Amino acid sequence: MASSSISCAKLLIITMVVLLILASCFISTSFSVRVVSDRKPNAKPLGFTARLIHRDSPESPFHDPKLTSTDRLRNAIQRSFDRYNHYTGKPNGLGTPVSYRTSEYVISHRIGTPAVDTYSMLDTGSDLTWLQCRPCDNCYDQEIDIFDPRKSTSYVKLGCEDKWCREEYSSTCDRDGSFCRYQLDYADSTYSKGILSTETFGFQNDTGNINITEFVFGCGHHNNFSYYIGGTKGVPGMLGLSKEPLSFISQLGLDRFSHCFTPENWNETSLLRFGEDAIITDDTTPMIDHDNITTGTYYVRLEGISVYKTKLNIPNGTFDISEEGDGGVVIDTGAAHTHLVLAAYIPLVEEMKKQIELERKLDPKNVFAHCYQTNTSHMTADMIGMPEITLHLSGLDFDLVRWNIWLERGDGIICLALLIASDDLTVFGAQHLQNVNVGYDLRNKVISLQNTDCMPNY
């Protein structure tokens, strides 16, 4: 009798072990992305915060100490125009990735097992995250070693039948039908080609290390980076934050994120918050799409602009998206500066002339078109009473920070830091998002904007 009881007990234990193993296998194959924290292993964090570096910061791989502030400004404006031309050129339609070379912020992270340090450009206008990988058929120079997936135990190539291979619009099957190949071509001749794969990505959080396992990315074995200034080298890759399925935020299943950019001349890191760490305020405006076409880009509806208390006489429909998908208003972290359509720029400048009792001047550095002479060489826009500019977004009146709008150009001359758009699209870039908390709530399809102090509190 005792022997029979022991045998039943053993059988019960064996059955329970088998069930646990089967459950474990089911869990590991049911989720394409697992996020774990070193504080609580195998638990998906509700949110985390990462640090961003402006591309001209001394901590950035793009930093060139030989460049003057005017050189950096000219380069930023050129990048901004390159990016704008990519948007409006639409060489391959709405799905075309935004130009890689023009992004303004770098994010540090780790990849692989064992983990190695790397960094990527941050872009809310792109979806697929990719990195240069060895072996390289063709790779551009970068400051750190190129990632070698052969040394990582967590690297996996995706097969042609994988669902993510079907999600990536530029993917194809390789010749032997084994692996999924991707190809990203940008308007500036930059490109990345390689194998769609999964890997562990790691981020440094204020309270620990965050590891994202089985994250889908492009392992680029054939790449070209066409943007070199002053001998700088290329960034290892791109981290995409658009609304498309393969973007970083979509894969994590976190439906909100926010960023707060510090002014670049402070050389301080900015913060990028995900999930419950994200700051979404009550000051929101809807994300909009073009008819039934959902794009990964963050469009908003701009209904008008005021200079101080005077609403500008801007023709109806100036900021609308046409039936062909042209025009509209985009919030874009990758664009350095703001491009305002001519139909709005002209009445804005004319109203400025009426309200500002200062002598008009030419920009001594020949960068901006609308400038004034002040009585001090170290002014602030608030000190000399420059008028506010208010954006009347759908459901939200947002005041642009004056020292973001007016830039000192030397000898007491200040200039309006707005670029004239060459097409029907208006783009609000990173310059005018400094010291602004921008929150993206994908579930409720709104974007929040709130002026604040973005200096991190360490």
Listing DSSP states for 209-262 in one string gives EEEEEEEEEEEEEEEE----STTPPBPSEEEE-SSSTTSHHHHHT--EEEEEBP
Whole-angstrom distance, CA of residue 168 vs CA of residue 170: 6
Whole-angstrom distance, CA of residue 400 vs CA of residue 10: 72
* Phi, psi values for residue 76, rounded to 5°: -65, -40
* Alpha-carbon distances of 441 from 84, 94, 256, 404, 445, rounded to whole Å: 25, 22, 5, 25, 6
Name residues whose C-beta falls within 8 Å of residue 46's C-beta, 6 or more positions apart in sequence.
275, 276
Q: Are strands 371-373 and 446-451 parallel, antiparallel or unpaired?
A: unpaired
405, 418 in Cβ contact below 8 A? yes
Closest CA to 235 of 62, 76, 57: 62
CA angle in degrees (0–180, nearest 5) for 139-144-150: 65
> Cα 315 from chain centroid?
31
* Alpha-carbon distances of 374 from 307, 348, 400, rounded to whole Å: 20, 20, 21
Beta strands in 58-164 (DSSP E): 105-111, 116-123, 130-132, 156-157
Annotated catalytic residue within 82, 277, 332, 424: 332
* Phi, psi values for residue 134, rounded to 5°: -90, 150
Annotated catalytic residue within 56, 82, 123, 283: 123
Q: Is 325 exposed, middle or buried (0-12, 13-18, 19+ CB in 10 A)?
A: middle
Name residues whose C-beta falls within 8 Å of residue 71's C-beta, 6 or more positions apart in sequence.
none
Could you tell me which residues are beta bridge partners of residue 259?
272, 438
Is 123 part of the annotated catalytic residue set?
yes
* Alpha-carbon distances of 415 from 1, 359, 407, 410, rounded to whole Å: 95, 12, 5, 10
- Any alpha helices (H) in 64-162, and if so which ranges? 69-89
Is 363 part of the annotated catalytic residue set?
no
Catalytic residues: 123, 332
